[in-house]
Chain A
């Protein structure tokens, strides 16, 4: 909690609570059949998303994954943006073209992920490369799960970034599970941070459910990147408290393990730290919760009123010009 002001600490709490509340409302919308497609939870992982993204500065660029709701909120996207995305509305950041947290633009500091895990790593390395060429002094940050670190794209991207000494932070979010596959079936390595040594880059490991520890570790990595020290692989030890998506009851997860991690809930720990250190009272934190709840109520209402896209938009924006043709007209001899 080294360099954080009281307001910043409360802001970290606020973003984590916002992350959780937005997701709880999304669960309601999902159960009402209003979410189009799947819903991917980040319950228990809020501290990793919020603490890492909060360590960035204006002009830095992130490439989040589907469980990094907290990241896009820190980067300035609104709950309404997230809800309209999940409800496939015309007013969503992707205009209904892509789902869930698949949205972003460089000028908003966010690069949209694709579903192929690992793919963001080389692309974000390219963001860092361009930033260096354009003398922007920016840091690129992306997230990858324990499962994603098994991909070739992860390896190629991080290796290239290491060779180029790019200003790049890769947060390896070790939440124990990739869909139903446990960590030990994903890699024979003892921990993900061990991989940093093989790439010749800095590695660090942090308690991913302690938002202040996460922030401090991320801040060290970001500072290293910005000062020319090259990439960092930061492993965040956390836990996926829900299934892969809402449809998955996670029957494969040992009950006692879940219970163990429930006691390490990142929000409860944050409240405990803030109260114990005298940073805020429980009453003050409850007031924050109330304001978030009211804000999200308004956002849900607005999102539900948002229109669906028009069918003709399906053909738009494939290319910079030229609209794809629909049915071709036959050329008749005598017409």
Chain B
């Protein structure tokens, strides 16, 4: 991502002035929602005085006070559990996992309490759980994971993962306003590496809507999160080779925008499912199943996955590089698929 492309402005270098980074976009979105709605509050470890391990909530305690920006003990179960209780009371908590890897410590609260509440008791849980996911920063096995698939398998949750600063702000605002529990997976690699000019006025990016980031004729790359940039980088390389790739950014993993995926693949007739998370039981497998069920007669080649292998995330740079999908690996798959 050293040379991150900029959507809609290929070949231009965005000026630094007036540009908002991905991390600042999330903070702005949270801040605007806190100003708009007094029931929104933040809860997590080191999010107040320190401003969060990645400074996502930097400065908010000064503006909103410690009652609305709550520093907690190291207790993910208590953070999410208390957020669930508060949400049942009509509050709109935004809980931070310092690294999204630690979401496993709150698994029960998310999958059994938050996700099932509306179904079994009629009581909605308007809760957002957010945190930095993903690798590429040599964080090792416990600071690099992409745990979204665990939760996509749990009815009752919504899952979003923004790839751009615009979406990061628009989706965090939509997540906070949503009446269901939303898991908001940020990609830590993007925090300070991408920026763009954002609208001055209030906007949301609706949950459940994908975006076509690049149009193409020959094959569709369906992806999300930081891999959107990898897909765009690969698409440039492929273009020079005469392969015209379309890139679909899911933005929301559940409920998935099947319509946009189906429209794209029924046009290109070929699809690569790309994600940074490991392969088995991943989001890519789910998309492949949907395409097989609903788009079978349009397919001119195998549904191909480009993902991390089924291993923990390794620490040492050469190992992590071998683990992570990248443009080169994606291009190899695209060439093989284009040959069908």
Contact = CB atoms under 8 A, between A and B. Distances in A.
Contact of B118 (A93, A319, A328): A319
Nearest to B266: A331
A134 B68 CA distance: 12
Given A122-B81, A130-B91, A116 B112 contact: yes
Secondary structure dominating the interface of A: loop
A97 B118 CA distance: 10
Contact of A112 (B79, B121, B179, B290): B121
A98 to B, nearest CB: 4
A122 B297 CA distance: 51
B120 A123 contact: no
Given A119-B81, A125-B85, A330-B296, A105 B122 contact: yes
A123 B82 contact: yes
A102 interface: yes
B204 to A, nearest CB: 15
Interface string A92-128: 0111011000111110000110111001011111111
Interface stretch (B69-77, B239-247, B274-282): B69-77
Interface stretch (A32-40, A149-157, A243-251, A302-310): A149-157
Nearest to B115: A318
Contact of B123 (A105, A160, A319): A105
Secondary structure dominating the interface of B: helix
A333 B84 CA distance: 46
Given A123-B85, A160-B78, A319-B180, A114 B122 contact: no
A106 B109 CA distance: 18
Contact of A119 (B76, B83, B90, B112): B112
Contacts of A331: 262, 266, 294-295, 297-298
Contacts of B87: 126
B120 A102 contact: yes
17 contacts: A97-B120, A98-B121, A111-B88, A112-B117, A112-B123, A119-B113, A125-B82, A126-B88, A126-B89, A127-B86, A153-B109, A156-B76, A157-B77, A160-B82, A317-B122, A318-B119, A328-B294
Interface of A: 93-95, 97-98, 102-106, 111-112, 114-116, 119, 121-131, 133-134, 140, 152-153, 156-157, 159-160, 163-164, 317-320, 322, 324, 328-333
